[in-house]
Amino acid sequence: MSTAENSTPMSIEQIKERLPHRYPFLLLDRILELVPGQRVVGIKNVTANEPFFQGHFPGYPVMPGVLILEALAQAGAVMMLEDVDDPGSKVPLFAGIDGARFRRPVVPGDQLRLELTVLRQRGSSCKLAAKAWVGDELSAEAEILAVVGERT
């Protein structure tokens, strides 16, 4: 898929300027496309060094589905924070999830392509259609509801 002309790619350092997440919970490596209020595409490189693989599962490493959803939510949060004043004083929060389905295991060596499209945005809340792909295979999908709150 080609990058949209009006999109903004981001490096990991630019992502860290926007998100409060840090190791081991920063689950986003790069933003390929970002069109504020419309769409975001991010990348999560899944390596054998991920701390969750120690226990999920020994001898058969599989990325937990909840962490795939978290990676999707983090990509959505980057997009949402592009539209707010003083993003450093804000925190993105998960508010709900609907229709989560897991279609393919994610294992070390996979690269997750995280694609989110805005379904509805009202004030500080946003409903997103979210899909995680490994190559041309759908790994997970859901509708995510997120809000931008004040940091305390």
Task: Summarize the confidence of residues 118-132 as an average pLDDT.
Answer: 96
Residue 71 in contact with residue 24, Cβ under 8 Å? no
- pLDDT at residue 87, as a whole number: 85
- pLDDT at residue 45, as a whole number: 98
Residue 35 in contact with residue 4, Cβ under 8 Å? yes
- 5 assigned to some structural domain: no
- 139 assigned to some structural domain: yes
CA quadruple 52, 107, 20, 14: dihedral sign = positive
> Does the pLDDT value for residue 55 go beyond 50?
yes
- 42 assigned to some structural domain: yes
- pLDDT at residue 83, as a whole number: 83
Type of residue numbered 28 = L
> Does the pLDDT value for residue 85 go beyond 90?
no
| 21 annotated active-site | no
Give the CATH number for residue 86: 3.10.129.10
Task: Summarize the confidence of residues 34-47 as an average pLDDT.
Answer: 97
From the number of C-beta atoms within 10 Å of its C-beta (0-12, 13-18, 19+), residue 93 rates as middle
- pLDDT at residue 8, as a whole number: 81
How many domains are there within the chain? 1
- 1 assigned to some structural domain: no
- 72 assigned to some structural domain: yes
> Does the pLDDT value for residue 136 go beyond 60?
yes
Q: What is the pLDDT of residues 87-118, one digit of tens each?
A: 888 999 999 999 999 999 999 999 999 999 99
- 19 assigned to some structural domain: yes
- 124 assigned to some structural domain: yes
> Does the pLDDT value for residue 2 go beyond 70?
no
Determine which one of 21, 30, 56, 131 is catalytic. 56
User: Is this prediction's pTM over 0.85?
Assistant: yes
* Domain that residue 64 falls in: 12-150
- 102 assigned to some structural domain: yes
Task: Summarize the confidence of residues 18-45 as an average pLDDT.
Answer: 96
- CA nearest to 37, candidates 80, 94, 91: 80
Count the helices and strands in the chain (H runs, E runs): 2, 6
